[in-house]
Chains A and B, each alone.
Chain A
């Protein structure tokens, strides 16, 4: 009951939430492809490649946190942990694998 009252007094607008998550998803997809290019050019294989992706997404999350959310993610996200730090990490993985494979195949193998 208390939560509900809080939500009515400070409403969460669905459109803004969607827009914010769309921005995060766009950034993630673009950077995932670029990380794939980098990993393929560096010739990373199996686990180092995936670790590269995870470290890269962490850096991107930190950049979103500092630059786009100005250090105050709770103003932009309903659940800052899930939406900013963990949002779309798995979704970007497929495009990472795509460009990784492509550039690995072009440069190395």
Chain B
């Protein structure tokens, strides 16, 4: 099989200054801008009324007791468990004790739920709008010519995307137009943002997607019935198999000293 002829295209060196550099700079600045936009768009948590906070915190207290049960001696754990379980089952900490057993209202009508959805929408918007704008900008200004050659081959499926606007059918896929440089910067600038903005910046896409999976609503989401949460937490406490970390500590200490 004969080697295919290596295609060479002579390009103006000014392409670097007028296309590659501007796109890179714009992408970096967009990341920085997105970081600050996200920081500014973050709504401060709304002030909650006392029974709500009490309900939330006492549930957290039950969870903490369950998770850190090992540091308590058996007697003190039993005392705490007995108190928490009875209080949870009676619904002592509920924000509205009369509302037990009633069906929850529609989450769409709940203003607190709308707040959470708005936060998610804002995050999505801050991602989508700059990307759409920049892609439009690149397509409007820099389409129609080849600017660089990739150092690795791609399958011909990429041809229509990466060589859009270049009307040559037989050109090697490795010659790509400016849109592919945009994609490379989109995925490769992550560490640059990390170094400019610090590690937990809002410009990173991974953090964005994580934020969508786990919105700020947290474990006390408005769609959950607090009474059900309390009941299940009481059940968890009941079935917890308790052991004490200080049990047999003398033997461990002696074994450590002996070795």
A residues with CB within 8 A of B: 1, 5, 8-9, 22, 25-26, 29-30, 32-33, 39-40, 44-46, 49-50, 91-92, 94-95, 97-102, 104-106, 108-109
Contacts and interface: CB of A to CB of B under 8 A. Distances in A.
Given A5-B245, A9-B245, A106-B16, A100 B191 contact: no
Contact of A8 (B11, B70, B189, B192): B70
A104 B149 contact: yes
B190 interface: yes
B153 to A, nearest CB: 6
B190 A94 contact: yes
Given A8-B70, A46-B152, A109-B149, A91 B245 contact: no
Across the A-B interface, the 6 shortest Cβ-Cβ residue pairs: A98-B188, A29-B191, A109-B149, A105-B148, A104-B151, A46-B152
B134 interface: no
A33 B193 CA distance: 13
Interface residues of B, number: 27
Nearest to A43: B151
A29 B152 CA distance: 21
Contact of B245 (A8, A50, A94, A97): A8
Given A98-B185, A109-B148, 18 more contacts: A9-B252, A22-B199, A25-B194, A26-B194, A29-B194, A30-B195, A45-B152, A49-B151, A49-B152, A50-B152, A95-B189, A95-B190, A98-B189, A101-B150, A105-B16, A105-B149, A106-B16, A109-B11
Contacts of A45: 151-152
B151 A98 contact: no
Contacts of B150: 101, 104
A26 B191 CA distance: 8
Nearest to B199: A22
Given A5-B243, A9-B245, A26-B194, A95 B188 contact: yes
Contacts of A92: 191
Contact of A101 (B16, B148, B243): B148
B188 A94 contact: yes
A42 to B, nearest CB: 10
B20 interface: yes
B184 interface: yes
A101 to B, nearest CB: 6
A45 B154 CA distance: 12
B153 A46 contact: yes
A25 B192 CA distance: 12
B194 A98 contact: no
B187 interface: yes
B184 A98 contact: yes
A94 B149 contact: no
A94 B187 contact: yes
Interface hub of A29, A104, A109 (most chain B Cβ within 10 A): A109
13 contacts: A8-B70, A8-B71, A40-B151, A45-B152, A50-B152, A94-B187, A95-B188, A95-B192, A98-B189, A100-B151, A101-B150, A105-B20, A105-B147
Interface hub of B20, B187, B188, B243 (most chain A Cβ within 10 A): B188
